[in-house]
Chain A
Amino acid sequence: QKEVEQDPGPLSVPEGAIVSLNCTYSNSAFQYFMWYRQYSRKGPELLMYTYSSGNKEDGRFTAQVDKSSKYISLFIRDSQPSDSATYLCAMSGNTGGFKTIFGAGTRLFVKA
């Protein structure tokens, strides 16, 4: 079983929709949770970073962490065609030297 599970999609939504992206994980030692956005033929770029449980908001993006359920989410409000990309969840903690474990990524298409 993978340590981090992420639905690969693709997920196709109309412009302006609210998008929900999710990951589940199995290792309770994870403490740091990240979302990366990767455009085609580019490297991933850090979008959101959260420590432990709770919510974090940055503009149109909200990251949620529920450690009791081992479940993290990224919400995108008022989605735009420029949000079309692959979104990777990632997490690390006091295990294996704080190595970061990545999900496989969800491909998102926002249609104009």
Chain B
Amino acid sequence: EADIYQTPRYLVIGTGKKITLECSQTMGHDKMYWYQQDPGMELHLIHYSYGVNSTEKGDLSSESTVSRIRTEHFPLTLESARPSHTSQYLCASTTRKGSGNEQFFGPGTRLTVL
């Protein structure tokens, strides 16, 4: 079983609140990712990091931001949550460099913005 953790697992908040979704991995992986997953839809990459102090936006436009100060930690922040942010957020990591990306996923955070 992959050692990648996400907290909280479920979050219900009101519009306009600032939230941070936590993701940590104990595998020493260089690459980390945040995906957004809606029912019946593909996983959409919203942010990724290839190492400490490296962050990039993914293919899906997102109002969230990320940071990578430590190898094991890759938090995602929403400064002002809106109902359109309601979704499942998945964090993943991999150690492969520029190859097949066998990604290990966390259990996800299900976010509901009222």
Which B positions have Cβ atoms within 8 angstroms of A? 2, 4, 6, 40-43, 45, 48, 58-59, 90, 92, 98-108, 110
Contacts and interface: CB of A to CB of B under 8 A. Distances in A.
| 6 A-B pairs closest in CB distance | A43-B105, A32-B100, A102-B43, A100-B101, A104-B42, A44-B105
Contacts of A100: 45, 101, 103
A103 B108 CA distance: 18
B32 to A, nearest CB: 13
Nearest to A9: B40
Interface residues of A, number: 26
Kindly name the residue among B2, B59, B103 whose own CB sees the greatest number of chain A CB atoms within 10 A.
B103
A74 interface: no
Kindly name the residue among B4, B42, B48, B102 whose own CB sees the greatest number of chain A CB atoms within 10 A.
B42
B98 A43 contact: no
Given A43-B105, A44-B90, A44-B105, A49 B100 contact: yes
